[in-house]
Structures are given as C-alpha cells and as structure tokens.
Amino acid sequence: MRQKIVAGNWKMNNNLDESKSLVKKVAKSIKKNKLKNTRVIVAPTFVSLEKVANKAKGTKVEVAAQNMHFAKNGAFTGEISAEMLKSVGVEIVILGHSERREYFGETDEMLAKKVDAALENKMEVIFCFGEVLEDRKSGNHFNVVESQIKNGLYHLEAKDWKNIILAYEPVWAIGTGETASPEQAQEMHAFIRKIVADEYNDDVSENVSILYGGSVKPNNAQEIFGKPDVDGGLIGGAALNKDDFKAIIDAI
C-alpha cells in the first residue's frame, strides 16, 4: 500500500532559530495525531538542515533537503553533495522543483544525474515536474509532464522506484493563489500512474506516492487529498505556519 505524505518545502524562508522553532512546533502538533500510514516531511534551507534534523530526531517529522548536486565533490562553488547531506542526517532530497528548473536552468538531463547520485547514496527522492500555464491552455500539459518524467526517471530500474516519490506541481498554481481543481489534479495523477504502469508495471505504479503541489491550503486540502490518485501534498507557503500545516496534515 502506498504511503500518504505531506511535505513542507520552506524554500528560502526562516533563519536558523526560526527553523528550529518551527520544526519543534510541527513535531509537537502532530505528537498525538494518529498518523497511521502518513509521513510528515519538512525541507529547510541548507544552513538549517543539521540543526533541524537533530531537532526532529525521535519525532514523527522527517527532514529533506531542497536540492543537491550530482557530483560527489569538486570545484562546484556553492553546491552540496548527497554524501554531505547524509553526513548531517538527511536522507531525502527534493529534485526538479519548478523554481530550480525556471530560475537556475536545471534540465531533465541534469536532474537524471542528480536522481542517480541520490539513489547511489541510498537517499529518497521527491521528484517534481509540471506544466506552465501556456502548456495547460494549449492542451500540451500531458505531453510536458510525460516528457519530464521520462527524461528524469525512465532510465531507472523498477527496483529503484521504491525510493522515488513523485510530486506534480502545475507551475501556474505555485504561489499564485490559483489551484488546480481536485478534478484536474486527479486527472493528471491518474495519467501519471498510467504512464508509469505502461513503462514499468502495475506494481511500481500502484506503490509510488504521487503528491500534488500548488497552493494547497487548509480550506482545499481535504477535497484534493480525497481523490484516489492523490497521495498527499508538497506544501509551500502554508508549511511556514504551524497551524495551517497541521490542518493540512489532518486533512489527509
């Protein structure tokens, strides 16, 4: 049975003290929550990773990095390797977020190498993809999503998918206040599950968690999460508020 997951991407927010305080509040807020098959993940900035990971030890909160480089080491100023992340207790990484693709020029080919590096280091990957508004309006959204998944992940073997979490994020709905309707989210998630099954098999497809990311809030989370192929969310702004994040976790 695939897992339910609520992951909070803090992006470039919160200094060290704020990050430690927030993870402590999140952990406390879900302490008495019967999460059952639900995982809760937070992704702070690089400078806070070690301290947040230490604060999260022994709680129901897991910690992820927002990015990493594909190389083990070398002359890559400002970058972080998988081995470095693991050395501070982080074993999950978000790759391919639309902001990384748009603002920092990350390509499918580059992301495929990052995925390989993460898996080689026995890390779990939250792999992001999604279409821009122009693609949605032109009816090209399915092709864009299939291409991003194919180029980033289809070189993997079926066994590798146990460490892959998919995150569909319609770019037009990130930080805009716009949200794909629950029906639009379900339509895309069902499509994703089908193309994974076609490339691999039903076992891989039915066991991979597919998260929705795009202006999920307490007032729409339950309806979105209620769709059969939506297994949780990759949460942005609402993850910065303990009460909002808790409400979204409760909605799953």
- Positions marked active-site: 97, 169
Helix-helix angle 242-251:16-29, to 10 degrees: 40
CA distance to 1, 64, 164, 171, per residue, from 89 (Å): 27, 9, 19, 30
Rounded to 5 degrees, what are φ and ψ at 42? -125, 145
Task: Give kind and range of the element (H or E) at residue 186.
Answer: helix 182-199
d(CA 38, CA 252): 8
Helix (H, G, I), strand (E, B) or coil at 45: coil
Say if residues 113 and 95 touch (Cβ distance below 8 Å). Answer: no
d(CA 147, CA 133): 17
d(CA 76, CA 69): 9
Cα 4 from chain centroid (whole Å): 12
d(CA 80, CA 70): 9
